[in-house]
Chain A
Amino acid sequence: SQTIHQWPATLVQPVGSPLSLECTVEGTSNPNLYWYRQAAGRGLQLLFYSVGIGQISSEVPQNLSASRPQDRQFILSSKKLLLSDSGFYLCAWDRGLLNTEAFFGQGTRLTVV
């Protein structure tokens, strides 16, 4: 069966520090991978999505970047965090096919102080 792992669950980082959130998927190959951010009480904002290794599409200009060094690994990074980077970050995957569902990790609560 397929599983998705996202870590850490919570993170408190000072302004200006770097960030690295990791997401891995098991049990499938060549998934679409997604990073979403959810501000408190708000909807999901799509940050990045990837249809293959090294292929990253950015949805919004921001202080973050994403990489996909392996087929089932998706990393969200920042060189210098801003206060506005605080939020709930969710990784997800789907099969990149029509009429299939997406599967989500449990999320990372990032607080920049």
Chain B
Amino acid sequence: SQQGEEDPQALSIQEGENATMNCSYKTSINNLQWYRQNSGRGLVHLILIRSNEREKHSGRLRVTLDTSKKSSSLLITASRAADTASYFCATVLRRGSNYKLTFGKGTLLTVNP
């Protein structure tokens, strides 16, 4: 079953605007990660936030994590047409001494020039 659920499923904005995507999950996690996927390609890791962190920045990306609400958000500031892609959150679940990565359904972001 899916652990993470992104919201909205699709988002269309103008270049220069900020884009916010949300992710909710069901069980306790060790960390939460965000990935980007260009159409028809593999996923690329963007940022990882640990369960004891509340906010993290990387360039134009800002990720927040609220473990009490089991939710995370990804903010892309000053969006560009090249940011058009699908964005997925992924959670790490512990299985014994090893860890499994489970993805949500993604948000399709379209940035219009």
Contacts and interface: CB of A to CB of B under 8 A. Distances in A.
Interface of A: 6, 32, 34, 36, 41-44, 46, 49, 51, 57, 88, 90, 92, 94, 96-107, 109
Nearest to A4: B42
| 5 pairs of A and B residues whose beta carbons are closest in the complex | A43-B105, A104-B42, A101-B45, A44-B103, A104-B43
Given A101-B33, A102-B45, A104-B43, A49 B103 contact: no
Interface stretch (B11-19, B63-71, B72-80, B93-101): B93-101
B45 A98 contact: no
Contacts of B92: 98-99
Given A43-B88, A90-B43, A101 B103 contact: no
Given A43-B106, A103-B45, A104-B42, A92 B101 contact: yes
Interface in B1-40: 2, 30-31, 33, 35, 40
Contacts of A107: 40-42
